[in-house]
Structure 1
Amino acid sequence: MNSKQDYVTALCQFIDQSPSQFHATRSIEDLLVESGFAKLDETSHWNLKPAKKYYVTRNDSAIIAFVTAKKPSPEAGFNIATAHTDSPAPKLKLKGASFTANTIRIPVETYGGDLHSTWFDRPLGIAGRIAYKAEDDTIQSKLVNIQKPIAIIPSLAIHLNRNANASNEINVQQHMAACLAGQKFEQVNETIAKEAGLEPSQILDAELFLYDCQQATRLGVDDSLVSAPRLDNLAACHALTLAISKAKPTKHTQVAIFTDNEEIGSRTPQGAQSTFINTILDRITLAFSDNLENTFIARANSTLLSIDAAHAVHPNYADKHDPAYAPQINKGIVIKANADAKYATNAVTAANFRNLCAQNGFPVQDFINRSDMPCGSTIGPITAANLGCQGLDIGAPLWAMHSARETAGALDHKIMIEATRIFLANRG
């Protein structure tokens, strides 16, 4: 890939193939395998070698990939970059399904802090993971993706809600149920089972989400924008996957971490607050040393780059940004900072990253929330605190974060890929 358009095409394909965190993890895995990474089993003993590529998954929704050092040592530590695989979406409450007003109606609960209004009147697919009883009576899981438009959340006509454009409170339980037409709920089960290649009676449980069926696309008079669902945080996942895939062995081990459940606080076995990250890093250290103390030394000698979306200044709501910290789309990577440590960034880590970008000609912007508005957070502070290493939060500027569709810059994505690759390879 030699141009920003090639990177955008690849990003759009990656997003279209990743309608849930489970599918995103599989998409990442496919790219890693293409680049020569070998899969490890977390439940088995490992026999790691220097200067080799490996990856390991957890829960089908989180993945850690790494390139071991030429001569691994705890003093060299790790260069670590992180992203998260999940995005806000309506999750189906299948047992609440009913037949109302001549349509199958399935209530939802919202996963993460989505922008409710953006889910209305869109053709929606269904994707996620099912658990089923196999022919040998074991419980297995399988990913499903009903790509055709199967559901819609219809708005109430303006004639029946005259205040809709002034104020429109949305009750998720009542107003956001998905409508699927049909005559009986069994049709939904049959459709899911057919997609999975199973009989409906085999399916025992499911984690299924609605998603926007419209494909990711470029837009703008110069094709410089990207419109897509789940840019937060699949754009970072794609950039980090390409960066680690290009990694060459160095004096330190390079690590790409993709955790799940950031949008709901990360407190799951596959989230950033779990043992997943520390366990894998310690196993890498102990593969080349039998001294437990070396795990602590390796962590202390590590550095962390957390990649998540950043709020671009909105042309119609510019007052929502501090004017001194108002990053623009297609103007470069954003360093995110916060006085209450909602981001991992400090003066030293920011200075190191600015220097790296300056040396390579990458533009850098800054984001700090308005002082009269609360700040969001991400996995950077959690991961840095658990590891006990220095960290930095960055992101590509984005419009409409947590909408069913978001907008980002084509140039920013190319810069993010290259900056992440260089960060993993070099020490500041």
Structure 2
Amino acid sequence: MSDTVQTTPARAHLDDLAAFVSASPSSFHAVQEAARRLTESGFTELSERDEWPTGAGKRFVLRDGAIVAWIQPASARPTTPFRILGAHTDSPGFKLKPKPTTASHGWLQAGVEVYGGPLYNSWLDRELEFAGRLAFADGTVALVRTGPFLRFPQLAVHLDRGVNSDGLRLDPQKHLNPIIGVRDAASADVLAHLAALAGRDGDEVAGYDISVAATTAPAVFGMNEEFFASGRLDNLSSVHAGLAAMVDLPDEWDAIVVFAAFDHEEVGSESRSGASGPLLADILARIGAGLGATVSDSARAFAGSWCLSADAGHAVHPNYPERHDPVNRPIVNGGPLLKINANQRYTTDALGAAEWARACAQAGVDYQEFVSNNAVPCGSTIGPLTATRLGIRTLDVGLPLLSMHSAREMCGAEDPAAFTAAIAAFLHPTA
């Protein structure tokens, strides 16, 4: 990142976001980095297999590519409400297939499968890496990352003369097979290379969850350095904001504050570590049980609780303004978004909008409203899933981005710090 401007609180925050994203090429690395930061801030890791302490404390639990942390104050009672920040750790891209090492016409390649809805063309001609977890036959697990290792090479314009006039068409099975070398496949093995990074042999690998990630470092740019570009801003920008807010909160308040970052949002959240799974409900139930909560007590606690679903949103695109609502046109550095959809693809209602306005006013930051063009289908988030599973009042917010689902997205350089401040005010309201 550039050092040409004087460091400000917003810039220091941006540098920390860059460091977090760089440390998090996969959902598993993201929760590892989150756990490291929480531990340094006085949180204690718990195992789901153990009995949990019932008194006050700062704690967190890992489940695969998800993490849930909470602050339980000494004043907590069976009916104490929860203040929850929900986000997701995964990003759209590609994952390694079984039998991944292949060869074609003298090139060594890797077999990958599309994960979620990436913008295919944005992944072309970039230095990429493999990152994720390996499970070994002896039951141990290791996180690995290769650094620059693979590339999706685009066909030269000389061999596709109409590409600029007729458009680029990519068949994900035919055209998105990355190159990794020029040796014969018999003399090379992707899994062996990954295992060696963990100090193991390839034949010890019994399973793996390996993603593809861009390796280009985050950067501040623009005429006045007002923009920030990085991979995985959807949705590590929200994970980082929630973490940054969480570690600075006071220990004592009249709510139990929770940070929940789920995996698999980009593919529907239907997994044991996704927002449609039981993770958050299980943890809230165990916290309540530790406080002696009855079924009635828990229902009362949930009735007074709030969940802030934080996920990236769209800034108006200057070259495609017709794809946006003609009146509500968020811009970068205009403040975080309040996301609204009449069909409940986002959960924000009137009370949620008022709560977000209160939080932003407390934080001293502006916010913007986002609503889709009526002719353009609206995306969704973990918000509706959480509201449906728990019955907790939920609202949807996020950073405004350009190039969402690109290998390299961008936001405003001022927005991440403002977003974190608003989240902190949501989690810890003051009179």
TM-score range, shorter chain: over 0.9
> Could you tell me whether the CA contact under 8 Å between 1:286 and 1:292 is conserved in 2?
no
Deviation of 1:75 (Å): 3.3
Task: Return 94-103 or 27-36, whichever deviates more.
Answer: 94-103
Partner residue of 2:153?
154
Partner residue of 1:223?
225
Instruction: Report the identity percentage.
Output: 35
Query: Does residue 321 of structure 2 align to residue 318 of structure 1?
Result: yes
TM-score (norm: length of structure 2)? 0.95
Partner residue of 1:379?
382
Task: Return 176-185 or 36-45, whichever deviates more.
Answer: 176-185
Q: Secondary structure at the match of 2:213?
A: strand
> Could you tell me whether the CA contact under 8 Å between 2:79 and 2:298 is conserved in 1?
no
Q: Distance in 1 between matches of 2:71 and 2:243?
A: 12
TM-score (norm: length of structure 1)? 0.95
Q: For residues 207-258 of structure 1, give each alpha carbon's deviation from its aligned partner in whole angstroms, at most 9, with x where no partner exists.
A: 1111111111111122221110000000110010011111112111000000
Q: Distance in 2 between matches of 1:265 and 1:86?
A: 11
Task: Return 149-158 or 187-196, whichever deviates more.
Answer: 187-196
Q: Distance in 2 between matches of 1:15 and 1:358?
A: 28
Q: Distance in 1 between matches of 2:85 and 2:293?
A: 26
> What residue ranges of structure 1 are gaps of 5+ in the alignment?
none
Q: Secondary structure at the match of 1:169?
A: coil
CA RMSD of aligned residues (A): 1.5
Task: Return 159-168 or 232-241, whichever deviates more.
Answer: 159-168
> What residue ranges of structure 2 are gaps of 5+ in the alignment?
1-6
Partner residue of 2:213?
211
> Could you tell me whether the CA contact under 8 Å between 1:99 and 1:105 is conserved in 2?
yes
Partner residue of 1:81?
85
Query: Does residue 61 of structure 2 align to residue 31 of structure 1?
Result: no
Question: Which of 6, 16, 27 lines up with 1:21 in the alignment?
Answer: 27
Deviation of 1:74 (Å): 3.8
> Could you tell me whether the CA contact under 8 Å between 1:309 and 1:398 is conserved in 2?
yes
In the alignment, residue 224 of structure 2 is paired with which amino acid? D
Q: Secondary structure at the match of 1:173?
A: coil
Q: Distance in 1 between matches of 2:199 and 2:227?
A: 38
Q: For residues 269-299 of structure 1, give each alpha carbon's deviation from its aligned partner in whole angstroms, at most 9, with x where no partner exists.
A: 0000011011101111111115233222222
Q: Distance in 2 between matches of 1:308 and 1:325?
A: 18
Task: Return 194-203 or 32-41, whichever deviates more.
Answer: 194-203
Q: Distance in 2 between matches of 1:355 and 1:58?
A: 33
Query: Does residue 60 of structure 2 align to residue 55 of structure 1?
Result: yes
Q: Distance in 2 between matches of 1:210 and 1:290?
A: 44
Query: Does residue 174 of structure 2 align to residue 174 of structure 1?
Result: yes
In the alignment, residue 61 of structure 2 is paired with which amino acid? V
Partner residue of 1:40?
46
In the alignment, residue 217 of structure 2 is paired with which amino acid? Q
Q: Distance in 1 between matches of 2:289 and 2:413?
A: 41
Q: For residues 138-195 of structure 1, give each alpha carbon's deviation from its aligned partner in whole angstroms, at most 9, with x where no partner exists.
A: 3221111111x21111111222222222222211111000101141443433321221
Partner residue of 2:269?
266
Q: Secondary structure at the match of 2:140?
A: strand
Q: For residues 311-341 of structure 1, give each alpha carbon's deviation from its aligned partner in whole angstroms, at most 9, with x where no partner exists.
A: 0111211221112111100010110000110
> Could you tell me whether the CA contact under 8 Å between 1:73 and 1:298 is conserved in 2?
no
Q: Secondary structure at the match of 1:129?
A: strand
Deviation of 1:96 (Å): 4.6
In the alignment, residue 90 of structure 1 is paired with which amino acid? F
Partner residue of 2:243?
241
Query: Does residue 331 of structure 2 align to residue 328 of structure 1?
Result: yes
Q: Distance in 1 between matches of 2:199 and 2:373?
A: 51
Query: Does residue 292 of structure 2 align to residue 289 of structure 1?
Result: yes
Go from structure 1 to structure 2 and tell me whether the alpha carbon gap of 1:158 and 1:255 turns closer, same or farther (over 3 Å shift): same
Equivalences, count: 421
Q: Distance in 1 between matches of 2:409 and 2:384?
A: 25
In the alignment, residue 144 of structure 1 is paired with which amino acid? V
